[in-house]
Every structure is written in structure tokens, then in C-alpha cells.
Structure 1
């Protein structure tokens, strides 16, 4: 169950990132982040009303902290996706997304099987190879920085979501996504960017709401059925779908090492599932 939910999370994140990059190229990355995260938060809040749960104050605190990290991450991710190749920015963000919760999980008692740990070992070179920058375009180099910052934010998001109790329901998740909007506003204001949504194009990002809610919800429930150190790695393979979509729809070339990375990703998933 944990592996299936993690893969669903990775797929939803990958498609959402692809659409976020498209919308950010057409308008403002910061405004797209506001619209997308608000849409996800509203949907998660509606789901929380329907799905019973008993969150503690600690669960709500972790939800808020997750949102601060997530908002920071999504803002820089969309900025990078708007200015550089999707096949560069999204994979780089996945390194921090996976590494931070893996370190936290292992240091707080996660003890994966040998087979699952082999999967983790394969996952990191997969992410690195998919992330390999193959040219000197300055915009792509800037995308590397944005990808790193996004990875830190998402790594914190995954880590804090993984601390939410099994009986909390979806209120902490809804709070996370609502808090992420505040995080985007703070980040955009600090960097001097306009964040208030303007123009019709930016409102297309509303379609990202169901994807974002699905991605985070699937990850949250995956942590209830599996180890944070494993679930976070599988969910962090989301760049595979982003790279494939960019290749098919935007004609971005998948270079040789990226292809090898995609193979490593498949092996990683198989090993973790077998473990």
C-alpha cells in the first residue's frame, strides 16, 4: 500500500510540476504558486470535513511547518521551471526532497530491509542522472539554484508531513497547503516580486489544485503505512514523469544519462517494492 501511494504521489507531483512550469512561463511563477496552492488547500479542507480525523495540536503544528517549507519550495520550483528546462529544474529539486527526510527517518529509528535500502541506493543516482545539466545556458544554471532551493523546501515539507499522526485526518494537510500560501507571499515580498494574481492566464493554475491535493494526501497516507525514509524516496522520483511529459509535449530531448537515470529509477522502485 505504501509503495502504491508513494507512486501515486510521485505521478501527481510530476504532472503538477509540468503544468506549473507551463503556466509560470505564461504569467508569473509567484502568482501561479498562489493560485495552485490556494486551490489545493480548499480541496483538502473540503476533504477534511468529509473524512473523519482527530488532529492534535502537535499534528496541526507539523502541518503548519510543512506548509512553510512547501510554499518556499513551490515558489522557487515554478520560478525555475519558468526560466529553464523542466528536465533540469524538477530533477534537481528531487535530490533535497529525498535526502532530508531520508536522513531524518534513519536518524529517528527507520530500519528498512536490505532490499529496500538497495532501492534507496539506486534512487539517488537515478535522481542525479536525470538531473544532469548538459549545456552551459545561463538560464539553465539559474534553474539549478532554483532547483536546489525548491528541494530544501520540499524536503522539509515531506519531513514534517511524515510526523503527522495516523488519526489526524486531513485537517493538518489542509492547514499545510493554506500555510504554504503565506510562505509564498512572504518569499515573494522579500524578493520584491508581485504575488497578487492578475490576468486570465494565471487562473488556469486552478486545475493544479486536485493534483496538489492528491500528491500530498497520497504521501501523507503512505507515511502511515510505510517508513518515511522509503516513502520519501519513491515520492521524490516525481521528475521522471515531468521529464517524460516535457519530452513528449515540449520536445525537450532526453539525453543519454537521463535515460540511464530513468532506468535506475525503475530499478529503485522494484527493489523497494520487493523489500
Structure 2
């Protein structure tokens, strides 16, 4: 389910597209309409004739927000070159970087970051990392993490980016692993649900569940209704069996050592693991 922020912004984009077909809409927001239609020539003509690139649409959405939501690199670049506010916030405090992350355009994300976009903007319902993780945009997640995105930032809807990544019916295993390798708290709580609860409830993905468990996810934690992940996996007897097995059997000592080392390093130093002067087999184990 899309975040509240982007439900509103997708509605705005649809409104703009519909208005593009009416004279009244064209008179109100011609630049927004041109951006929503991905009509570069029209955008260029309007800006050249004096239209303000920072005009705000409904809910304070700017043309740059819309360009990033469409993932149109050419229009995004043009608007930035002509003075668009990089960190403009809509009524829901969403920034163009949030929209570029939601669209999955890693090119737009990199462009915005190179022009000073805040990777951890304040007062957001949902951060850029949430938006990318929610949709499984792996390369965008990788880019945002490299730029310093807070891996455990908690929003008002999903919880952490890891919660968001685990909430789809078909979660991206690669995206989940990137967040875990970056030090995401595998037992973070949102209404007492952990990411493992989210997997059990929404996808019943055994691969995702085993990945979370390999990074220390607890099979014993209960949500605000007293349910363990196994209790939520009612649609998948095979996943229930996997979770029951991990409830019964203790973790191997090597796994306990691995998790302890990762915990001692902490998120700020985990990125150094691939660069250790150590055998590759050990580096792979710690990752």
C-alpha cells in the first residue's frame, strides 16, 4: 500500500494531467500540467516566457516534485538549472527527493543529491529511504544509504524502512538484505510488530523470513495483540513450520558470534566490513 504522502501526490499528478485537457486547468497551472505530461518543449517555452518554476500546485506541490515523481531526468535537470527549490516541501512535508525515490529513478536521486537535496529531511511522514524500500527500488536504496540515509528512521505509517520493505506481498529480498547489511534494527517495533511479523502477515515469504532470522530477528516477540510471527503466518503452514523450528532450536554458536560482532560494530562501522584486511570467507560471513 502506498504511503499517505504519495497517495496525495499521485492524486495531484492525476489532477494536473486531467487539467491539461481543459482550458481552465491550463490557465491555473500550465507549468505543472506540462511537467505531468512530460512535455519538455512546453516546459521550456513556459519557463522562457516567465513562468515561476517554484509555483505551488494543490498541497504545495512544485513542478520539481512532479518531475521527480514521473522520473523525467531531462525536465528535472532543466527545472533545477532554472532555480527550482531542491528541498521544497509539500503540505505533507514530502520533498522532490521523496518523489524521485518513489519513482525509482536513481538518476534523478543522484542529481538531486548532487545539488544539495537532504537525504534525511525533517518533519516527514515518510523519508526518501522509506519510499524506495517500500517499492523495492534496490539501486535507489543503495544510493540513499551511501549518501547517509538513516536506516532506522521511523515514519508515522510503516515504521522503519525495513518494515516498509517487508510489508509488500512480493518483497524485494535484495532490498531487505541491503538494509540489514547497513545495520537496520531487525527487531524494530511498529505497534509492536517487527519486520518478521510483517513478512508473516503480508507475504509469508520463507526466503525473507530466513534472511531476517539470519540477521537476528526474534521469533518470540509478540505484537500488541500478543501474536508471534508464527501466529500471523496462518496462510502458510510451511512458514509456520520454519518459524516453529527456530522457536524450538537454539541458534548455532557461530551465528551468535557473528551477530555479536555486527552489534558491536554498529551501523556507523558496518560499511567497513568489505574493506577489512581479512580472508574473503570471513568478510562474507560478517556481512
Alignment TM class, shorter chain as reference: under 0.3
- Larger relative contact order (CA 8 Å, sep ≥ 6): 1
Q: Give the alignment's TM-score, normalised by structure 1.
A: 0.21
Larger-Rg structure: 2
Identify, as 1 or 2, the structure richer in helix.
1
